[in-house]
Structure 1
Amino acid sequence: MCHLRGLLALALVLGICVVQNQGGSLRRTGQLRHRTASDEGVVVCSICPDAVLIEPCTCICHNATSADIRCGPELTSCEELTDILNVATPVSQYLRLVVQKTSLQCMLTNDIWGPTTFQEILLVENQFSIVDNHAFAHFNKSMKLLDLHKNRLQDVCFSTFNNQPHVEIINLNDNKINFIPGLGNMEVKELREIHLRGNSLKTIMENTYQLMPKLQVIDYSHNMISTIDPGAFAFNTRFNDNRLTINLTNNLIEKFRHDAISGIQNVTLNLKNNKIQDLSEFYEVLQDTNFKAKIFLNGNPIICDAQLCWIVQNKTIMSHFDDFECTDSALTLYSLSPDYLGCSM
């Protein structure tokens, strides 16, 4: 083992790339570029560009055919990023571009990127505030994930996502977004998750998601939403029967309209920690979803009185709700009885 370590050290000094065989012997593979450690020995990565040419960014290999380009706080300008992304690379596509915790605040436009493409774009914890209409058009044949969380985004041209036929996850958490267009402005047919937690949204407009038939997660938690338009979660078609989870926790919603949802049955509505008192609309929500909806209401100012009789008198209907707490007592939904509520039979 000591002999192997000595040979490895000598190889690194000489700039020779080596791999440890399963039998423990060493073989020379050529010029050393980038290496990653693995349990089986030294993994050769020849797909990264010259390390000096992409400084202060780095290339991190996952295996012989997959690598990331990562840039951190040392990156000082978008021009520098553009220069780095225009460096000649051994391959035309990498797994991931990560730009994190920088002071960059330029407008995100399609001119920033070089010829290289990525499957995942993570521009997180920066100072970006504006996303141009064609900001990510260069990646329309490759991008599956776009993560822009913890920036200062206010002006996002959401139609830019129409250019992304393969994107599956969009993360816009913890920005300053106060408007998302409705009326089918976005057509993203492969999108499975959209995350909008911690923004400044107040309204969900009609038909915002009608052209996103594969959605499984919509996260609006920790906004300032008080209005949900009819048809806000209307779908023209669903390409599968996967459950859709709509997270509306920690907003200012006083009433959830039953006609906000259409075209879907398997849906979970998480409405915890809002201002809902009247539950009458939820009977029609259950009817419209063929009694497949799950509804979470804990943390709302719900008075447990005769208005809940239609729930408490039917254990099947009750099973579609969480065991929310009553604000007028220490009781929870599942502990209530028709007699306690004074329900007429």
Structure 2
Amino acid sequence: MARVHLAVNSFFVLLFLCHAGLGGSNPIQENIDKHPHLRFTPRRDPRTQPSGEEPSRHFVNHGGLPKPKARENVEEMSINLPSCGLCPSKSEITPCACTCVTDRLDVTLDCSSGISTLYQVHQILSSTDFPTTMLHSFTLQNTTVADTITQALWGPLSFELIWMSYNHIPYVDNHAFAPSNATLRELYLDYNEIEYFHWPDIEEVPVLEVLSLEHNRIPFLPNEAFSHAALKRVILNNNVIQGISSDAFAGLTRVEEINLSYNSLTRVENNAFRFNDLRLEGQRLVLNLENNHINSISPSAFVGIKSLTLQLRHNFLHTLNQDCFQPIIDATQGLTFFMVNNNPIQCNCSVAWIKHNETVSQCFDDFACSNLGSVNIGSVEVEDLGDCEMEPRGRDGGRQEGSGATICATPPCRNSTTTSSRRNSNGTKNLSGNSTVVRWLRA
């Protein structure tokens, strides 16, 4: 019995010595001392513990990473925790400000206050010892900055998202965003005064998905301006673009939106919107050309598109020739919608092909006819369009041999049959008395 009491006493003595730190090194305690953010601190959760109960032991951040006890406590702990430890001190980066969303470790740097030159930004980014060089976002907005963006600006840092809007930046130099070539996904340079953008630089950021250059002074899009597989959104509205070279967008394979509204386009030339290998995976390409000065569209302007919403409102189109829209309908198998209202469209024989076929008419909005008192096409009878003849076409909707080329083309709606009398035996009307009429039918 005495031996049993001796063994028990020895056990408690050793336990006391370990607890008091007198029985040799304690690796758990040493680890906590080295990493103070691992300390446990008693804390009451007022939402889960009734008044009067002993507080539970929640994990509390002391300068390191948070580890909330339960999902519902994440928001509360993020608010109460001062920092994720990945921002430098305020004095090092003033007037910029660094913040960190602790539950995602997203470090954001905002230099919108107190900055007048990009050299100031360069000094801060290149001379400050950031705990991490991979930051989530950089913001510079509403400043008087009027410098060129260069590669040297960023120092050792890279970003996933760059906002540099509402400034006076005139140029974007070669390789300007190369430091973020492996991380940059969204680039916003809107509301500046950019006249020159080195388009090949886009290829240096292969994960870029959004490029926004709206409200600048870009005059022209060169050949093969976009050869970038990842881009999904190209925002170029409110520039002064007067021309688009052939194959300007040919290299895009995943693009879902191209916005060129509010520019100075007068024509859409052949292959301006030709795509080599566009794979939308169930999405429809939205191409916005509204509020330009477009008065003609070349027959092969849109090539390689399988699903399209084409916005052409508020331009100067006077006609909607079949050769100018029929090919797109065929190529997309009817997955196309043309928005052409608010153009000075003359509803005559040039639009009879739309009115004559219900399948085709569903590909257009209910546009107004300028020569018929702005009555919408849906309220116009075929006879109101004039004594129209529609020339025969091949099975693919194209003109048969001997017919000349016409500016402005649209894809066909499958097969056709012809009739030759004013009224068929089934009671349907032709567009003219004894002329040959092509009727486009569903397959």
TM-score (norm 2): 0.69
In structure 2, the CA distance between the partners of 1:126 and 1:30, relative to structure 1 (3 Å rule), is: same
Partner of 1:12: none
**Distance between the aligned counterparts of 1:76 and 1:150, measured in 2?**
16
**Matched residue pairs, number?**
325
> How much does 1:73 deviate?
3.9
Equivalent runs, 1:273-284 vs 2, <5 Å: 273-280=314-321, 281-284=324-327
> How much does 1:185 deviate?
4.0
> How much does 1:306 deviate?
2.8
Partner of 1:54: 93
> How much does 1:21 deviate?
6.0
CA contact (8 A) 2:86 2:132 kept: yes
Match of 1:111 among 130, 152, 161: 152
Equivalent runs, 1:102-251 vs 2, <5 Å: 102-182=143-223, 184-241=224-281, 242-251=283-292
Partner of 1:264: 305
- Identity in percent: 26
Partner of 2:17: none
Partner of 2:377: 333
Matched to 1:254, the amino acid is N
In structure 2, the CA distance between the partners of 1:91 and 1:176, relative to structure 1 (3 Å rule), is: same
Matched to 1:290, the amino acid is Q
Matched to 2:267, the amino acid is T
Two-structure CA RMSD over aligned residues (Å): 2.4
Q: Any unmatched runs of 5+ in structure 1?
A: 1-17
Instruction: Show CA shifts across 1:39-79 (max 9, x none).
Output: 56424422222111111111122334112101114112212
Partner of 1:30: 62
CA contact (8 A) 1:109 1:135 kept: yes
More deviation in 233-242 or 281-290? Answer: 281-290
Q: Any unmatched runs of 5+ in structure 2?
A: 1-39, 47-54, 65-73, 387-430, 438-443
In structure 2, the CA distance between the partners of 1:196 and 1:189, relative to structure 1 (3 Å rule), is: same
Partner of 2:338: 295
Instruction: Show CA shifts across 1:158-213 (max 9, x none).
Output: 1111111000000000001102211x243211000100010010111100011111
CA contact (8 A) 1:226 1:251 kept: yes
In structure 2, the CA distance between the partners of 1:19 and 1:321, relative to structure 1 (3 Å rule), is: farther
Matched to 2:285, the amino acid is L
**Distance between the aligned counterparts of 2:212 and 2:305, measured in 1?**
23
> How much does 1:293 deviate?
1.8
In structure 2, the CA distance between the partners of 1:21 and 1:224, relative to structure 1 (3 Å rule), is: farther
Partner of 2:29: none
Matched to 2:90, the amino acid is A
> How much does 1:240 deviate?
3.2
More deviation in 240-249 or 281-290? Answer: 281-290
Instruction: Show CA shifts across 1:285-323 (max 9, x none).
Output: 323333322111011001222322111111111010011
Matched to 1:205, the amino acid is S
Matched to 2:135, the amino acid is Y
More deviation in 281-290 or 255-264? Answer: 281-290
**Distance between the aligned counterparts of 2:377 and 2:97, measured in 1?**
55
In structure 2, the CA distance between the partners of 1:214 and 1:233, relative to structure 1 (3 Å rule), is: same
Instruction: Show CA shifts across 1:67-114 (max 9, x none).
Output: 210111411221210122121112221111001111111111101111
Partner of 2:135: 94
**Distance between the aligned counterparts of 1:50 and 1:221, measured in 2?**
44
Relative to total residues, which structure has the larger strand share, 1 or 2?
A: 1
Matched to 1:128, the amino acid is I
CA contact (8 A) 1:200 1:223 kept: yes
CA contact (8 A) 1:205 1:228 kept: no
CA contact (8 A) 1:20 1:42 kept: no
In structure 2, the CA distance between the partners of 1:92 and 1:73, relative to structure 1 (3 Å rule), is: closer
Q: Secondary structure at the match of 1:268?
A: strand
> How much does 1:336 deviate?
2.0
Q: Secondary structure at the match of 1:269?
A: strand
Partner of 2:80: 42
**Distance between the aligned counterparts of 2:368 and 2:213, measured in 1?**
32
> How much does 1:215 deviate?
0.7
